Each structure stands twice: as structure tokens, then as C-alpha cells.
Amino acid sequence: MLSIYKKELKLYFVTASGYVFLAFMLLSAGIFTSLVNFVYYSPAFEYVIKDMCFVLLITVPLLTMRVFSDEKKQKTDKLLCLLPIDVKSIVIGKFMAVATISLIPVAIMCVYPFILSKYGVVNIKTAFSCIIAFFMLECALCSLGMFTSSFCENQITSAILCFGVILICYLVPTISQNISSASMFTFRAFSVCIIALCAVVFLASKKILMALLTAVILETPLIFIYIKHNALLVGKFTAFVDCFAMFKRIDPFTNGVFDITAIVYFISITALFICLTIQYENRRRRG
Amino acid sequence: MIDVKNLSKVYGNFKAVDDISFNISKNCVFGFLGPNGAGKSTTMNMITGCLSPTEGNIIINGFNMLYQPEEAKKNIGYLPEIPPVYEDLTPYEYLTFVGEAKKIPKSRLKHCVNEVMEKTNISVMKNRLIKNLSKGYKQRVGISQAILGSPQIIILDEPTVGLDPEQIIDIRELITELGKNHIVILSSHILSEISAVCSDIMIISHGKIATIDSAQNLVGNGEIKTAIIEVIGENEKIINVLNTIKGVISPKYEYDKNIYSFKFNINLDPREDIFYAFSAIKYPIISLYTKKSSLEETFLKIIQDSEDWS
């Protein structure tokens, strides 16, 4: 794992991608700090972090697009297969390298609240809890980006796909506000989701029976609840959609609350996508 | 040291590799031949652990590739058709990474990297980015990663592609040298290269083994030889006479009316008996000579036979 980590880290700095990422993050942090703290005279560094979340839409695809897709393009994925390293170590090594690069601008940003405190009263604890949450969010998004990169052979395709998924996550709060909470709508929306899930199961397993079984297992209780306990479904789809609102989880931190549930959420998302990447890579090796 | 048992790989309804079994237990250069799409690369990918087999087992130095992949892979070095090199690293950085991944102790790593670079003559290029190297040098960087750490089994897929004639000779010498202390599996479409370097050859066709034999036997330098005889006389009678002589194997009528061919074992050389047999019936022998077949002819014949059989 250490050899993969070192190699990945080196590749970021022998190519422009690592420097571009760092430059873009630090430039954005500088602009937002100047605007929020110096132009509008606000002592709250947490608003800078909140604005910085938007920058992740661009920087995360930039950082993660080459992680696996470039290996496939250069045919070095075969080298990784034949080295005596298991898939788990490869994926974790690569993720650790991405997380390390992500940590560099975050570590530099840690100095900003102290600089600002020279000119006014800055709530250091809130600022740092926000920085921690920001880093955790970045890690979760990076694991997602790494997963999208694992099934693309082209870096640009990987970046576009990653950007699309992160954009959806970013827009989820706006989408969920405009979703009807009526039970009829919830039933229909969940049914469509189940059909989509069955299609994914079929494409992954190539077994129609497994897809049908998934449909029956999920759709039967949904129909039962809809017929017998209609009221239970009210607002549930909105709540379901909110699960994907990763960026919304930063809000409690900006309000001065260190939200442990959000930290657990970010760690869970990170672990989920790392596991999915390991599964996908293992499956690819099986041919 | 390599024991492949009942290896199969199925893609949907297509059987790319069909129940292949072979064993290589002594250090040698083992040639792997076959037409495009015969299943060579699939077999090599399965042996190196890059691809899981649908059925069968691969035992490398006592380790099962399916259940103990890490231990098995420690004994294998592989150069795929396209060298798996990181273009943005220098050969030294790349080989250091491969060495670390192969778990070569840190105290020996630098020495091992320098040693393989010297063996493949890339020391002068060690600090240049791989993307700036010629195709031949990239190929040699690929060979370096395969032999780094001196694995017991070295698998080379088309190792001389893109090299100039001088480099080809160097690499062939290196392969021959490696074959003394390692098992080297060499896949190549250049049959002259296979016959020049390999001691044993396996020909694969339609996912099945068409033949495994020593290179000597396949090119006609072994115990069984083919002879061509030109005799003037009746066709049937000549065949009958040849059939009665001890040591003559499957005599047959060739392309011209007086030309016949047969196989014989050099330990039971029947040529003297043939002379007296035809002399007795007053059939003059115009010529009698042994034929040395090229690997190309043998390869084409075996592939043709396996296609007819399929």
C-alpha cells in the first residue's frame, strides 16, 4: 500500500494536476477570504469554508479523474494486477494519496483564522470545526470521484461523470424543496427508483431472475405500505433525497455546532465508495 | 514450478481457453506459439494472475494463484505486449516503485534496480522521463520490471517488438542467459526467434494445446527425421517395399510420381536396408536424403491439423 501511495503522490507532482489543484484551491480560498473577511468586514471564517464547498465541484473531478482511468489508458493496470499487492491495498493507497493532496490546501487554510484573529475577534473553534468538516466532505467526494474514475478509460469522461454526480449532490437541497410530499407521489417515485435499481442489478449480474427478485423484494412492502398505511409514506421521498445532500451537512458547522452525525455520514460515504471501488476492481479482474 | 491444470476461460458463449494442462519443472526458455486469437495472451494473463480462470488451477512454486495470489505473484515477472510503464516517471523512479511493490528489502533495492538497468542497457537513460524514450528503450524498461527481484518465473510477451537488430540480439542473449537460472516463458510471432532461443515449445490453437515438444523435435533435429527418396518403379510396389523395412514410419507418395517421403528413427536408420531392398528388385534410387523442416512449416502444419480436427 505504501508503494502505491508514494507512486501516486509522486505522479501528482511530476504532472501539472497536483499543482493546478493546489493553485486553484488556494486562489479560491484567498479570493473568498478577501471578499468575506476583508471587503465585508466579517470575522466569520466559516462563511469562507461554505463558499469553498462550491469550488469542490471543479477541483474534485480534476484531482480524481486520472486515479484509475489513466492506469487503463496507459495499460499500467496490468502492472498493478501482477504485482503482489491486493486490490484493497491499491484502492486504499490511491485514496490516501488523493486525501493527502486534499489535505495540503486545507492545512494551509488552517493558518487563515489566526491571521484574521490579528484584525478582529474570530471564533477559532467554529472555524476549525468547519475546516474539519470541509476536509471530511472533500474526502467523501474524492472517494466518489475515485469510484467514477474506476469505470472510465478516459480522464475527461471520468471528470465529466464525477462533476455531474457532485453537481446533483450539490443541487439536492434545492430539488428536495420542490418535491411533493404526498404519499401518491412518494409511491411512484420509489417505484421508479426500484425499477432503476433493478436495471443496475441486471446490467451488473446479467441475470434477469436476480433483477426480478430485487423488484419483488422491494416493491411488495412498498405496495403493502401504500395500501394499508398510506400516511407512513408522506414526505419519505423528500427525506430519502436529502440523504444525498452532502453539501447540506456542512450547515450545522457554520452555525457553530460540531455535528458528529455529519462526520459519521462523511466517513460512511467515504467507506462506501472505497468498498464499491474495491468490488468493481475485483470484478474487473475476474473478467 | 508451474503446474497448470485443466485451465479454461469462457467469455459468454465463447471458450477462449479450453481445458489446458501443462507443467514446467526445470529452468528453460519455453516458447509459446499460436495464431492470433488462439488464447495465448488469455492463458498468460491467467498464469500471471491478471485474469481469473473460469475453471482450473494454476500452481506457481507450490502456491495456488487463486487462493494465494500474493505468494504466487512474488515468483512471477511479466512483460505484457504493451510495456506497462508510467510515462511521467523516469526509469529509475519507475523501477524503484516496482521494486517496493515487489517487497524487495530497502537495503537491496537500489542495487537490484541498478543491476537490472545494466542488464537491459538502460542505465544511460535512467533519469530521463519514460515518455521521452524511444519504443525500444520503453520495451527494455518493461523487461527490466519483469526481471526485477529475480523472480523464478519470467513471462515475456513479444519482448523484441520495436527493437533494432542489435538490441534484438542483446535481448535474445539476455533471455538465453535468464533461461539458465529461471523458467522463461516467451511468446512471440517471430518463429525464428522462438527456434533460436527456446528449448521447449508449446503450440496453442483454438484455445487448446496443439502440441508440446522440444524445439529440436519440432524442427526435425530430434530422433524422428523425415527422409525423401526418389525411386523409379511402380508406385504401389515402392510403398509396399518401404512398409516392409524395419524403422520406416508412414511412407507416403509425394507430389511427383517418383518422389516418396517417410519418417524414421535415427536409432533404427533404415537407409542401408532401403538401398539393398530396391537393389534386389532392380528399382534404381535416384536420390535419398533427410529433410530438415523449419519451425514455420511445422507450425503451419500443426495449426492446419488442429483446424481440420476442430
What CATH number is given to the structural domain containing B251? 3.30.70.100
Q: Of B200, B218, B236, which residue is a domain's last?
A: B218
d(CA A186, CA A235) in angstroms, rounded, equals 7
Q: Of A214, A234, A254, which residue is a domain's last?
A: A234
Confidence class for position A136, pLDDT limits 50, 70, 90: very high
* Contact flag B98-A79 (C-beta cutoff 8 Å): yes
d(CA A106, CA B66) in angstroms, rounded, equals 42
Regarding whether B148 and B50 lie in a shared domain, the answer is: yes
Q: What per-residue confidence (pLDDT) applies to B5? A: 86
Q: Of B218, B250, B275, which residue is a domain's last?
A: B218
pLDDT at A185 over 90: no
pLDDT at A192 over 80: yes
Regarding whether B252 and B211 lie in a shared domain, the answer is: no
Does the residue A144 lie in any domain?
yes
* Contact flag A84-B73 (C-beta cutoff 8 Å): yes
pLDDT-above-70 percentage for chain A: 99
Residue B289 belongs to what H/E stretch? Answer: strand B285-291
Regarding whether B151 and B60 lie in a shared domain, the answer is: yes
Regarding whether A267 and A196 lie in a shared domain, the answer is: no
- Nearest beta carbon to residue A3 from set B9, B76, B101: B101
Regarding whether A161 and A95 lie in a shared domain, the answer is: yes
The structural domain count of chain B equals 2
The CATH code of the domain that includes B104 is 3.40.50.300
Q: Of A234, A259, A274, which residue is a domain's last?
A: A234
Label each residue of B11-70 as H, E or C: ECCEEEEEEEEEEECCCEEEEEECCCCCCHHHHHHHHCCCCCCCEEEEEECCEECCCCHH
Give the range among A10-14, A129-133, A219-223, B304-308 with minimum mean pLDDT: B304-308
Regarding whether A272 and A140 lie in a shared domain, the answer is: yes
* Contact flag B101-A6 (C-beta cutoff 8 Å): no
Selected for mutation to probe chain A from B55, B88, B98, B106 (highest A CB count within 10 Å) is B88
Regarding whether B253 and B161 lie in a shared domain, the answer is: no
Regarding whether B275 and B196 lie in a shared domain, the answer is: no
Q: What per-residue confidence (pLDDT) applies to A120? A: 80
Regarding whether B52 and B171 lie in a shared domain, the answer is: yes
Selected for mutation to probe chain A from B41, B46, B73, B90 (highest A CB count within 10 Å) is B73
* Contact flag A78-B97 (C-beta cutoff 8 Å): no
CB of A287 within 8 Å of a chain B CB? The answer is yes
Confidence class for position A142, pLDDT limits 50, 70, 90: very high
Which carries the bigger pLDDT value, residue B152 or residue A177? B152
Does the residue A11 lie in any domain?
yes
Which CA distances in Å does A34 have to A46, A49, A119, B225? 13, 13, 13, 89
Chain centroid to CA A215: how far? Answer: 28
* Contact flag B84-A3 (C-beta cutoff 8 Å): no
Q: Which domain holds residue B231?
A: 224-291
Q: What per-residue confidence (pLDDT) applies to B161? A: 76
pLDDT at B131 over 80: yes
Regarding whether B149 and B37 lie in a shared domain, the answer is: yes
Confidence class for position A28, pLDDT limits 50, 70, 90: very high
- Nearest beta carbon to residue B86 from set A74, A84, A85: A74
Residue of A nearest to B48 (CA): A82
The one-letter code for the residue type at A274 is: I
Q: Of A191, A216, A234, which residue is a domain's last?
A: A234
Regarding whether B150 and B28 lie in a shared domain, the answer is: yes
Q: Of B218, B249, B272, which residue is a domain's last?
A: B218
Regarding whether A226 and A134 lie in a shared domain, the answer is: no
Regarding whether A117 and A249 lie in a shared domain, the answer is: yes
- Nearest beta carbon to residue A287 from set B51, B73, B85: B51
Instruction: Tell me how close the Cα of A86 comes to any Cα of chain B, in angstroms.
Output: 7
- Alpha-carbon torsion (A96, A98, A100, A106), positive or negative: negative
Does the residue A22 lie in any domain?
yes
* Contact flag B101-A15 (C-beta cutoff 8 Å): no
DSSP string, B74-105: TTEEEE-SS----TTS-HHHHHHHHHHHTT--
B7-22 pLDDT per residue, tens: 888 887 788 888 888 8
A74-120 pLDDT per residue, tens: 888 888 888 888 889 999 999 999 999 999 999 999 998 888 888 88
Regarding whether A230 and A92 lie in a shared domain, the answer is: no
pLDDT at A41 over 80: no
Selected for mutation to probe chain A from B8, B97, B143, B156 (highest A CB count within 10 Å) is B97
The structural domain count of chain A equals 2
Regarding whether A190 and A171 lie in a shared domain, the answer is: no
Confidence class for position B304, pLDDT limits 50, 70, 90: low
Regarding whether A256 and A228 lie in a shared domain, the answer is: no
Instruction: Identify all chain B residues contacting A205, using CB atoms and an 8 Å cutoff.
Output: none
Instruction: Identify all chain B residues contacting A7, using CB atoms and an 8 Å cutoff.
Output: 86, 89, 97
Regarding whether B150 and B272 lie in a shared domain, the answer is: no
Report the DSSP beta bridge partners of residue B10. Answer: B15
Q: What per-residue confidence (pLDDT) applies to A132? A: 92
Interface A–B counts its CB contacts (< 8 A) at 73
Instruction: Identify all chain B residues contacting A3, using CB atoms and an 8 Å cutoff.
Output: 97, 100-101
Does the residue A239 lie in any domain?
no
Tell me the average pLDDT across B47-58.
Answer: 85
Q: Which domain holds residue A200?
A: 183-234
Regarding whether B82 and B190 lie in a shared domain, the answer is: yes
Structural Rg of chain A based on CA atoms: 21
* Contact flag A287-B9 (C-beta cutoff 8 Å): yes
Residue of A nearest to B42 (CA): A287
Instruction: Tell me how close the Cα of B298 comes to any Cα of chain A, in angstroms.
Output: 33
Residue of B nearest to A71 (CA): B86
Regarding whether A249 and A229 lie in a shared domain, the answer is: no
Regarding whether B90 and B14 lie in a shared domain, the answer is: yes
Instruction: Identify all chain B residues contacting A78, using CB atoms and an 8 Å cutoff.
Output: 45, 50, 78, 80, 84
User: A94, A133, A82, A72: which is closest to A4 by C-alpha?
Assistant: A94
Instruction: Identify all chain B residues contacting A4, using CB atoms and an 8 Å cutoff.
Output: 101
Regarding whether A83 and A8 lie in a shared domain, the answer is: yes
The count of other CB atoms within 10 Å of the CB of residue B279 is: 11
d(CA B40, CA B205) in angstroms, rounded, equals 9
Q: Is B245 helix (H, G, I), strand (E, B) or coil?
A: coil
Regarding whether A222 and A129 lie in a shared domain, the answer is: no
B258-272 pLDDT per residue, tens: 778 777 766 677 888
Buried b or exposed e, range A106-139, using 16+ CB within 10 angstroms: beebeebbeebeeeeebbeebbbbbbbbbbbbbb
Beta strand B208-214 with B224-231 is: unpaired
Regarding whether B245 and B145 lie in a shared domain, the answer is: no
* Contact flag B86-A15 (C-beta cutoff 8 Å): no
Task: Name the grid cell of A88.
Answer: 484493497
Regarding whether A70 and A109 lie in a shared domain, the answer is: yes
Tell me the average pLDDT across B111-123.
Answer: 87
Instruction: Tell me how close the Cα of A14 comes to any Cα of chain B, in angstroms.
Output: 7
Confidence class for position A26, pLDDT limits 50, 70, 90: very high
Residue of B nearest to A286 (CA): B52
Does the residue A261 lie in any domain?
yes
Supply the DSSP symbol for B276. H
